[in-house]
Chains A and B, each alone.
Chain A
Amino acid sequence: MIELKNVSMLFNPGTVNENLAISTINLKVKEGDFITVIGSNGAGKSTLFNLVAGTIIPSQGTILANDRDITREPEYRRARYIGRIFQNPLLGTASNMSLEDNMMITYRKGFKWLKRSLNNKMREFFRAELVQLEMGLEDRMKENLAMFSGGQRQALTLLMMVLSKPELILLDEHTAALDPKNAEIVLELTNKFIREYNLTSMMITHNMSHAIEFGNRLLMMDKGEIIFDVEGDAKRELTVEKLIEKFHEIRHASFGDDKALLSP
């Protein structure tokens, strides 16, 4: 589906702040993959997502989508087939607009024309879809999103993204800003949607047990490199202890401060 070939990302080249955020990564995301990505702060997880989504253009290397070169394709164009959810639950929805308006805007990707698509048929469809969230939102379709909680908004963003049928979804620690109960709900929904719609997806998480529990493939990143890539049965047999051991083995380094961040 998506392929990264020798991709590097160098920020502020030639200055004292020069920073090699990604160093020569090769990655092939296969159709139907559900990849979890772990790594400490500064390991390059978010930069990797920014490169895939098109927020930044790599200093070197090429990015392919279905064998088409998309290295220089702007973010808004890639968004037509790549869905992304951010850590900040406010980034996926418009606060000053009603729920039904939000759903209408996100229902179809691409330029919007002078057409009024929001009719009673669409409303019925949205209502039926909202029931899946089990949050009672189907009865609040005329309310502004500013009235909804972060968890509700993140769940909505997820549903709205799934309805637009993207080929790849990027989940950038999308439950990290929520309280534990809501985080659990949103994570469960994520897993449910990914299985139900067989979505190709990548998920960054700081929670090692989540990384092990979910998905069929796991990437561990450190200092801009993918140091560990495991899938299938090998992934299923992983435990938090084994993962930490693996890190020591590869890096010959102790976790130190990172231990807190990679907490099980």
Chain B
Amino acid sequence: MIEGILVEGLIYGIMVLGVFITFRVLDFPDLTVDGSFPLGAALMVQCILLDVNLWLALLVAFIGGMLAGMVTALIHNHLRVPNLLAGILTMTMLYSVNIRILGNRANVPVLEHETILTKVSERFSGIIPDEYILLLFFIVVAIVIKILIDLFFRTDLGMTLGAMGNNEQMVISQGVDPKTLKTIGVGLSNGLVALSGAFAAQYLGFADVGLGQGIIVSGLASVMIGEFLVMKSNRIGVLTLCAILGSILFHAVLYLGRYYGYVIHMTPNDLNLIKGILIIILLILTQAKKLKKVAIKAVVEK
């Protein structure tokens, strides 16, 4: 049970890192995610069926997601469409694209096929207890991706991306085109989301066009839970760690809802409602926290 929660939390944690980049670093609320997550899953599954090298397949999924994100950024930049609408446009178009990739089917299983996860399981079987193999694998994957992101945001380019989310005028004043930065940032974010989708498809054993429904809400809830855990920090390493921990906690809550929800007559169909309510509660708590800070500050200043 606990491994299940952790594995799911880590797989979706990669997606949460992507959502964190757009929503928090770039200040670009991006809804492409609902389409790029199943896009990653569809590309992975199709590559598995075509016997493509599995690591190459991961790269294909990542690049596919990146292109999807870039489409959103281009629509926003050049047609002067608000970023929310640009994301919805791409997401809607991706629905059809994903069905195409899956060969005009809405759901394609890969249970009988070799995946990265079955390979890893075989390789380490006997060395590590079976139930912990996947957990360890995903811990390693999540840590590697987290470290790569941390390194990226400490380069000149990464820091400038961070500055743009804060203050677009400042970036313009430095002689950098914010359009280019948005394209890079949203692309990177959706690449991560698609990568997460690719792992999810292998874990679940299928790709489904509906896989991405409400993903953005899950991602956002996870980011918010992570932020709630830790005091405000300006260290990217702390922030990305919070995003992953937030994802794990979020999946723990979902798990409880799924397995013990029947006590209050809850069905799996109610989960989306629960996710939404969770976000609302988090928003209220965050506001209360802020008000309290303001109140304390006012008292101190007096």
- Residues of B within 8 Å of A90, CB to CB, are 167
Stretch at the interface among A19-27, A69-77, A233-241: A69-77
Interface hits, A84-142 → B, CB 8 Å: 84, 86, 90-98, 101-102, 104-106, 108-118
Most buried by A among B155, B167, B173, B176: B173
Closest to A84 in B: B173
Contacts of B170 on A, CB cut-off 8 Å?
A: 91-94, 105-106
From the candidates A74, A92, A93, A97, name the one contacting B162 in the complex (CB within 8 A).
A97
A113 to B171, CA, bound (A): 14
Q: Main secondary structure on chain B at its contact with chain A?
A: helix
Q: What residues on B are CB-neighbors of A94 within 8 Å? A: 162-163, 166-167, 170
The verdict on B189 contacting chain A, using a C-beta distance below 8 Å, is no
User: Interface size (A, Cβ < 8 Å)?
Assistant: 36
- Residues of A near B174 (CB, < 8 A) are 79, 105-106, 109-110, 164
A101 adjacent to B172 (CB under 8 Å): no
Q: Give, as a whole number of angstroms, the nearest-CB distance from B170 to chain A.
A: 6
Inside 8 A of A192's CB, which chain B residues have their CB? none
The answer to whether the Cβ of B157 comes within 8 Å of any Cβ in the partner chain is: yes
Residue A80 at the B interface, CB < 8 A? yes
B112 at the interface (CB under 8 A from A): no
Contacting A at CB under 8 A, from B152-171, are 152, 154-160, 162-163, 166-167, 169-171
A83 in the interface, Cβ–Cβ < 8 Å?
A: yes
A91 is contacted by which of B155, B156, B167 (Cβ under 8 Å)?
A: B167
The answer on a CB contact under 8 Å between A116 and B156 is yes
B175 touches A105 (CB 8 A): no
- Which chain A residue lies CB-closest to B180? A111
User: Distance (Å) between the CB of A41 and the closest chain B CB?
Assistant: 22
The reply on A144 being an interface residue by CB < 8 A is: yes
A-facing residues in B162-210 (Cβ within 8 Å) = 162-163, 166-167, 169-178, 180
The interface on chain B, measured as residues whose beta carbon lies within 8 A of the other chain's beta carbons, has a size of: 24
A97 with B159: in contact, given A76-B172, A76-B177 (CB under 8 Å)?
yes
For residue B182, give the distance in angstroms from its CB to the closest CB of chain A. Answer: 13
B173 touches A97 (CB 8 A): no
Whether the pair A110, B160 counts as a contact (CB closer than 8 A) is no
Minimal beta-carbon separation of B231 from chain A (angstroms):
13
Complex-state Cα separation, A84 to B169, whole angstroms: 10
B152 touches A112 (CB 8 A): no
Q: Which of B154, B157, B169 contacts A113 (CB 8 A)?
A: B157
Q: Considering the chains assembled together, what is the distance between the CA atoms of A105 and B165 in angstroms? A: 14
Q: Judge whether B234 is part of the interface by a CB distance below 8 angstroms.
A: yes
In the complex, are the beta carbons of B173 and A79 less than 8 A apart? yes
Q: Which B residues from 119 to 171 make CB contacts under 8 A with A?
A: 152, 154-160, 162-163, 166-167, 169-171
Cross-chain contact A116 with B234 (CB below 8 angstroms): no
Q: Measured between alpha carbons, how far is A80 from B158 in the docked complex, in Å?
A: 20
Q: Output the least CB separation between A160 and chain B (Å).
A: 10
Q: A93-B167, A111-B180 are in contact. List 10 more A-B contacts (CB 8 A).
A: A91-B167, A94-B167, A94-B170, A102-B163, A104-B159, A105-B174, A106-B170, A106-B174, A112-B156, A114-B155
* Residues on B facing A (Cβ under 8 Å): 152, 154-160, 162-163, 166-167, 169-178, 180, 234
Rank and list the top 4 A-B pairs by shortest CB-CB distance, nearest first.
A112-B156, A94-B166, A80-B175, A109-B175
Q: Which residues of A contact B (CB under 8 A)?
A: 74-77, 79-80, 83-84, 86, 90-98, 101-102, 104-106, 108-118, 144, 164
13 contacts between A and B (CB under 8 A): A76-B171, A77-B175, A79-B173, A83-B173, A91-B169, A94-B166, A97-B166, A106-B173, A111-B175, A113-B155, A113-B156, A116-B154, A116-B155
